[in-house]
């Protein structure tokens, strides 16, 4: 009996709630209709605007009815630095067959990122697999891995992965534990062991500058990690990263994986086709880090190798500023 009364009470409550909801909705609808009627009865401004519909007929419409439409292009929308640029995926292709160790890429990178340390972010390695194979030059930068080991181990989310593929560093947050450097198999990360002193040695203009992870080295901070950032400050301006434009041999191709195009500034190629035609590969694929930098194998290497040796400096990658 008791049970029964409980049940009926519940049913009553349930119905009550539904009824209340219905009434609320109904009254809302009434208000809407009323406002519509009111709007119709009110006069327009009398200021007519001529417009063309999508099928090409001209129409006239009162200016008060004209409303701005949100743009279909999301590029204009201000984006979150940690989220990245929407609908983009940046990749780089490095053609090892063309590299002659001119080092213009490194010099340009050092200059535009105001590098004052002794370890460049972009390095050209002299490589030789075995004694029997010919040596070749290997430009190496941050691979912007899709499974970045550095991001996994960072305890404070100072280094992070964006949707557009970039791995960047928030130097305001880094605690200087150097775990990311230990984790990176490509030895690409560089530490500011001392005060960078960029303002003094490089006459860097820091007035009116807002530091952002989007421009590595602007400024560098003592006790934090720096590395190649794929130059998002250039991409935003629709320009190519510094190393790409500086290279005299067209070694570096930069582009968007979704658009399937890469360019070295002179020629623009289909990204997938280029990899297929020239057997592109990624460095240490076996580790599973999924890099976004692709290499084209160093063909014809014996002949070309001698050329770059005059620039080769085993113990230096950043020129000292006093000159």
Residues that bind another protein in the complex, under the rule CB under 8 A: 118-120, 123-127, 140, 149, 152-158, 173-179, 181-183, 185-187, 189-195, 222-224, 284, 287, 313-317
CB of residue 195 vs another protein: minimum separation in angstroms?
6
Return the number of the residue (177 or 202) whose C-beta is nearest another protein.
177
CB of residue 197 vs another protein: minimum separation in angstroms?
11
CB of residue 183 vs another protein: minimum separation in angstroms?
5
Return the number of the residue (106 or 234) whose C-beta is nearest another protein.
106
Return the number of the residue (255 or 298) whose C-beta is nearest another protein.
298
CB of residue 314 vs another protein: minimum separation in angstroms?
6
Q: Are 241 and 234 in contact (CB under 8 A)?
A: yes
Residue-wise DSSP of 183-205: H-TT---EE--S---HHHHS---
Number of C-beta neighbours around residue 281 at 10 A: 14
CB of residue 93 vs another protein: minimum separation in angstroms?
19
Radius of gyration of the chain (CA): 30
Question: Backbone phi, then psi, for 28, in 5-degree steps?
Answer: -60, -45
Return the number of the residue (110 or 264) whose C-beta is nearest another protein.
110
Distance of CA 17 to the CA centre of its chain: 51
Q: Which residues pair with 126 in a beta bridge?
A: 137
CB of residue 149 vs another protein: minimum separation in angstroms?
6
Return the number of the residue (71 or 315) whose C-beta is nearest another protein.
315
211-230 burial: b if 16+ Cβ within 10 Å, else e:
eebbbbbbbbbeebbbbbbb
Token pair listed for 10: 């519940």
Return the number of the residue (24 or 222) whose C-beta is nearest another protein.
222
Element (H, E) at 48: strand 48-52
């Amino acid at each position: 009996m008791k049970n029964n009364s409980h049940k009926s009470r519940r049913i009553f409550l349930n119905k009550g709630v539904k009824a209340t909801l219905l009434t609320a909705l109904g009254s809302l609808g009434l208000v809407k209709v009323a406002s519509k009627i009111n709007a119709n009865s009110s006069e327009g401004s009398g200021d007519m605007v001529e417009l063309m519909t999508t099928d090409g007929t001209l129409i006239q419409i009162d200016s008060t009815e004209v409303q701005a439409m949100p743009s279909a292009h999301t590029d204009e929308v201000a984006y979150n630095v940690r989220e990245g640029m929407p609908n983009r995926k940046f990749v780089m292709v490095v053609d090892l067959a063309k590299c002659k160790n001119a080092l213009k890429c490194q010099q340009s990178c050092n200059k535009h990122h105001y590098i004052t340390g002794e370890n460049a972010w972009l390095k050209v390695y002299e490589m030789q697999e075995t004694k029997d194979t010919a040596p070749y030059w290997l430009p190496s930068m941050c691979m912007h891995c899709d499974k970045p080991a550095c991001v996994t181990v960072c305890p404070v989310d100072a280094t992070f992965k964006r949707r557009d593929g970039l791995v960047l560093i928030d130097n305001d947050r880094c605690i200087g534990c150097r775990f990311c450097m230990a984790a990176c198999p490509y030895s690409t990360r560089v530490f500011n062991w001392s005060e960078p002193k960029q303002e003094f040695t490089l006459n860097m203009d820091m007035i009116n500058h807002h530091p952002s992870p989007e421009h590595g080295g602007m400024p560098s901070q003592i006790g934090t990690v720096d590395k190649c950032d794929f130059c998002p400050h250039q991409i935003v301006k629709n320009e190519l990263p510094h190393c790409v434009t500086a290279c005299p041999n067209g070694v570096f191709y930069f582009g968007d994986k979704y658009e399937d195009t890469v360019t070295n500034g002179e020629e623009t190629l289909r990204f997938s086709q280029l990899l297929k035609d020239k057997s592109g590969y990624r460095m240490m694929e076996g580790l599973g880090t999924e890099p976004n930098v692709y290499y084209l194998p160093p063909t014809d290497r014996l002949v070309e190798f001698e050329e770059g040796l005059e620039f080769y400096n085993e113990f230096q990658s950043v020129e000292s500023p006093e000159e």
